[in-house]
Chains A and B, each alone.
Chain A
């Protein structure tokens, strides 16, 4: 299995801050990397696919970058509704493993 490692595991930030979450794959996965947001008690929501493509309906303050083994999710200006957990997922080979998650909390 390809292992996905996210950092940090948790993060405190304020409304308006720029935030970056990192995801590293245990082997090269080209650009086959997705990002999801999950709020408490809710199903995950797809934000970014293919490393940098914004899913329809997702605000443009979310962006993704990277290829190979290192990827980032950036939120340019945090909004109150962005405080949630974020997961990366590789779709290069099955099983399409997820990272352990990053919990974004209000400072």
Chain B
């Protein structure tokens, strides 16, 4: 059974750096075709794709946020960490991590999600 859980601060100040950790079980991030992604959702708004790291270490970022984001994996701890610098109130929202699999058709899908963690950016 695959599970993921996000952890990190619930409140950060503007200009600070946010560090979120996704701790997972039930799969290995060294298995071909597997990835872990981060997605966020401002209150009452749509989902926004942030970043994805694949089993082979390939990292992909949203171009609009690329200068602020860093994604990294620690396979020994079964964790993926997302860092976002220079936080602003518009970054307030729920942050999700999710298991990504490459399907038999060659595309990716987030098939298992964490419960999400709410992050508020305020002074």
Inter-chain contact B61/A87, CB cutoff 8 Å: no
B111 sits at the interface (CB 8 A): yes
- Return the chain B residue nearest A100 by Cβ: B46
- Return the chain A residue nearest B47 by Cβ: A98
Inter-chain contact B60/A34, CB cutoff 8 Å: no
B contact residues, range: 20 to 34
When distances are taken between beta carbons in the complex, the residues of chain A under 8 Å from B39 are 44, 98
- Return the chain A residue nearest B59 by Cβ: A94
Give the contacting residue for B49; candidates A45, A50, A92, A98; CB below 8 A: A98
B26 sits at the interface (CB 8 A): no
Cα–Cα distance between A98 and B48 once the two chains are bound (Å): 7
Query: Known contacts A87-B47, A98-B46, A99-B46; is A49 also within 8 Å of B96 by CB?
Result: no
| Max chain A Cβ within 10 angstroms of own Cβ: one of B47, B106, B114 | B47
